Amino acid sequence: MSRSGQAAAAPGRDAGPRFPSTSDASLMVGSFAMPSRWRFGTHTHPWHQLAWAAEGVLTVETGEGLWVLPPVRALWIPAGVPHATAAHRSSVMRSPYLRPDACPVRWSAPTVVHVPPLLRELIVHLAGSRASGDARVRAEAVLCDLVEPVDAGPVLLPLPSDGRARRVAEALLADPSDGRTLDAWGRAAGASGRTLARLFLAETGMSFGRWRTQARLRAALRLLAEGLPVAAVAGRVGYGTPSAFVAVFRRAFGVSPARYFTAG
């Protein structure tokens, strides 16, 4: 393993460089080529990680939810937070890892970060062997200065434990475009619509309508990451018109689908 953290990745294994127990290093950059659908199973790191796709699109999932990350967005993952990382299509993950006791960023929860061109080039610069000594120290300090949060939370999708509500949830995950009413779902699941509504709220913390919207947004993010046009995605996740889908997406993420994947 080089100081830059170069490594060959394998499905289901932990992703990250070997962190030195005694070292003056305060930042390393790991680079991983990830074929389409490649996944690193749930793991933790002793250092903070900035998960960033230099190419392609990553998804990161923690106990707090799921994030879909095009190259203009990265996810700050605090040390010790269990997470799983996957590639939607052929991708390159290039992640800075920062030693907690030498890092000025103190966020205690996963946080989305905008990746402007300067931050992108600085990560690439630090991943190589060009920076060393005082020059590297200065570059690492600038990287930390450039880490700025974006107001974008994860897609939260807890599953109900009751068997009847669980069947409905799993059916919607399989086909988010299914627009049946709660009463119709109740007839299929063996419960009244009122019972299902109560179960979803009690067991997921969301109304049925909000849960279904989250399921549709999660599916939409994955389809958009695969390069499908907005109009096609809207229909596949249950919206009658692209404009209706864009309005829901904008309320959830603060930007349009196109801007989500092209700018922070």
Provide CB contacts within 8 A for 181, sequence distance 6+: 193
pLDDT of residue 4: 33
Q: State the burial class of residue 221 (Cβ atoms within 10 Å of its Cβ: 0-12, 13-18, 19+).
A: buried
**Residue 6: which pLDDT band, with cuts at 50, 70 and 90?**
very low
Strand positions, DSSP E, the chain = 27-34, 39-43, 48-55, 58-62, 65-69, 73-77, 83-87, 91-98, 111-114
Secondary structure element (H or E) that encloses residue 116, with its range: none
Q: Cα–Cα distance between 81 and 126 in angstroms, integer?
A: 24
Give the residue-averaged pLDDT of 85-89: 87
Sequence spans of domains, the chain: 27-146, 163-260
Q: Cα–Cα distance between 46 and 29 in angstroms, integer?
A: 14
Q: Which fold has domain 163-260?
A: Arc Repressor Mutant, subunit A (1.10.10)
Q: Which fold has domain 27-146?
A: Jelly Rolls (2.60.120)
Task: Give the number of residues written for the chain.
Answer: 264
Global pTM reads: 0.78
pLDDT of residue 129: 64
pLDDT of residue 89: 82
pLDDT of residue 36: 85
